[in-house]
Structure 1
Amino acid sequence: MTINVLRLDHRIGRDTRITTHVCLTARAFGASKVWLAGEEDHSMMRSVRDIADRWGGDFEIEYNNSYMEVIMNWREKGGKIVHLTMYGAQAHEVVDEVRESSDDILIIVGGAKVPTKVYKNADWNVSVTTQPHSEVAALAIFQHLLMEGKEFDLEFKDPVFEVIPTAHGKTVNVHNENRKLNKKE
């Protein structure tokens, strides 16, 4: 199963930090790609690509202002769609069904106002609570449930930096530092 994320209605300036966190959370929890819809934010996308390059893996971010094109293309290729919303079915009640579908999954993370057609085109409208909350938290919780905790064991190939878990202090291995230096030239 491949997991991708579609971030709706990004607004430069207002949403840059939260959208960056959506992208980094998606990556850290096992997503391969994020599509960004709304305003095209080259700076934010460059920052996410740089982080992914330094920390390893094959993560992508791509802009497509037509979120419906992304949704319809995903569906045409046989993938399933999960829309995260506080109005949906509880995540813990539907996650087994989503996982057992074994189809590629597109997780839609909303913006300021999600159009009705997104709800109607989702295979599952999913909530992690029925209270207002952060879309970053919702994404992390849903991906954690979907991955059954296996995100803790993910290995990101060819990292420049790698955190070594320790109870106290900070331990970071630096690998292949020349690759980073060469990239900036």
Structure 2
Amino acid sequence: MQGSQEVVVLRYGHRPGRDDRMTTHVGLTARALGADRVVLPDNATQAAETVADITDRFGGPFEIEQTDSQAAVVRNWDGPVAHLTMYGLPIQDVEGEIRVAVDTDPLLVVVGGEKVPFELYEHADWNVGVTNQPHSEVAGLAVFLDRFFEGRELSQEWSDADRTVVPKATGKKVVSSDDSGDDGA
């Protein structure tokens, strides 16, 4: 989130055909809820393209990268690492500690897409559980980012947007930079 700690989300693993939608949603959630960039596996090209398209249309700043070695990203990270897993410590018990630790260093938030190697659990500074129940990694990322930013990400401003969603009690309104808006039902 601009003006605060740098937060990068790493999608660890991607099974083409099975994880396409979930990996896309990890990227979109990272963008919408305050992360500065997402690093996706190199075989998640469609997800990377979709997140880049949304960033182009609805604004940034937000960066999308791809890598052929998620393990190297974790191993070489210059800052603390939080790994989201249902086996981790409850977020409510570690969120303050994480916030303090990343005051000046960039935070890497790792979101698994398949079984992650045990070395990731060992390398992470925190293995964080958003409940200790099976659920969506997208939900875990959303709760983690909201708790980490203490809700500030919900009023984030976006620059260079071609489209802006106008909040309404009912209906839909999206204003394009080249027109006055499109009301939908």
The TM-score, its normalising length taken from structure 2, stands at 0.89
Is there any run of 5+ residues in structure 1 with no aligned partner, and where?
Answer: 178-185
Secondary structure of 1:10's match? coil
Tell me the residue number matched to 1:80: 80
Correspondent of 2:146 among 138, 144, 147: 144
Tell me the residue number matched to 1:92: 92
Deviation of 1:63 after TM superposition, in Å, equals 1.2
8 A contact 1:159–1:176 mirrored in 2 = no
Correspondent of 1:61 among 59, 64, 67: 64
Tell me the residue number matched to 2:182: none
Render the CA deviation track for 1:31-69: whole Å, top value 9, x for unaligned.
1111112x5132221121111110000211111121121
Tell me the residue number matched to 2:31: 27
Q: 1:87 to 1:155 in 2, by over 3 A?
A: same
CA RMSD between the two structures = 1.2
How far apart are the structure 1 equivalents of 2:68 and 2:156? 31
How far apart are the structure 1 equivalents of 2:155 and 2:139? 20
Structure 1 residue identity aligned to 2:170: H
Structure 2 residue identity aligned to 1:55: F
Render the CA deviation track for 1:108-149: whole Å, top value 9, x for unaligned.
001220100100110000001011010000000000000100
Deviation of 1:153 after TM superposition, in Å, equals 1.0
How far apart are the structure 2 equivalents of 1:88 and 1:72? 19
Deviation of 1:176 after TM superposition, in Å, equals 4.7
Correspondent of 1:6 among 6, 10, 18: 10
Flag the structure with higher helix content: 1
Tell me the residue number matched to 2:113: 111
Q: Percent identity?
A: 49
How far apart are the structure 1 equivalents of 2:172 and 2:156? 20
Is there any run of 5+ residues in structure 2 with no aligned partner, and where?
Answer: 180-185
Correspondent of 1:43 among 46, 56, 59: 46
Runs of 4+ displaced beyond 3 Å: none
